[in-house]
Amino acid sequence: MSEVVKIKLNNIVPNKSQPRLDFYDETIESLAESIKENGLLQPISVRKQGSKYELIAGERRYRACLLLKRKEIEAIVYDIDDEQSATLSLIENLQREDLNAIEEALAMQRIMRQEDITQVELAERLGYKQSTVANKLRLLKLPEYVQNAIGHRTICERQARALLKVPEDKIEEVFLTIANRGYTVAKSEEYINSILEKNKHQKGLSGNAQIGINTIKQAFEICKKSGLDADLQLRETSDNIKITIKINK
């Protein structure tokens, strides 16, 4: 393992591939208090970039030390390239569970584009299954307001994946119901499955029923033209379509 050294904070620059998007002040302040009381338990990771050092991992610790107005910070200096730096930064955050699902997905997408690699290749780098990477990336297909909710942990990743099954014109309604009622994962999935079943039933019924309705109407019109004194009434409910034909004597 590389040696731990002390580096001046003003010689450290942010990592352009930092996967974490949000740094909440309260968590930084809390970390700063912990460092003040107990010291820095884990050094940050950096790499040499000209006369400066670029952060690889540990930006929250770096910011906390800035808040404490410290001059130096313990660090491990790695000799790695851009590709390795971006991957290591993402892995470190994933292992520490510092990222939300959208930050993970955006970081994965960025690495794939920068390095021109496939989902399979990225999964191999991260030690993930390809399906795990694919599921993360699919979250970026959700509307922005849903992605923001994931980022603020209003809903979790499993709830978001369930929302991907919902028809586009119903996502907002379903999302608001889940978020406003504080549904659990199980309740959210149950609710979404009930909506999908209902839509499936309605679509199947309307397609088959329309053929039958048109046939009955055509036959009824033929009878009417032949002089039959009759009346046709059609009533649709959530469960069925009721057709009533009254023939006057």
Tally: H helices and E strands in the chain:
10, 7
Q: What confidence category does residue 126 fall into, taking pLDDT thresholds of 50, 70 and 90?
A: confident
Interatomic CA distance for residues 22 and 218, integer angstroms: 63
59 as an active site residue: the answer is yes
Higher per-residue confidence, 131 vs 110? 131
163 pLDDT more than 70 = yes
Q: What is the mean pLDDT of the chain?
A: 83
Where along the chain do its domains lie?
1-99
222 pLDDT more than 60 = yes
How do 72-78 and 52-57 pair as beta strands?
A: unpaired
Question: By mean pLDDT, which of 27-41, 43-57, 87-101, 142-156 is the weakest?
Answer: 87-101
Global model pTM greater than 0.95: no
Q: 1-99 has which fold? A: 3.90.1530
Which of 26, 29, 59, 97 is flagged as catalytic? 59
What is the pLDDT at residue 206? Answer: 55
Q: What confidence category does residue 183 fall into, taking pLDDT thresholds of 50, 70 and 90?
A: very high
Is residue 40 within 8 Å of 61, Cβ to Cβ? Answer: yes
20 pLDDT more than 90 = no
pLDDT digits (tens, 9 = 90+) for 28-76: 888 889 899 888 888 888 888 888 998 888 888 888 999 999 999 999 8
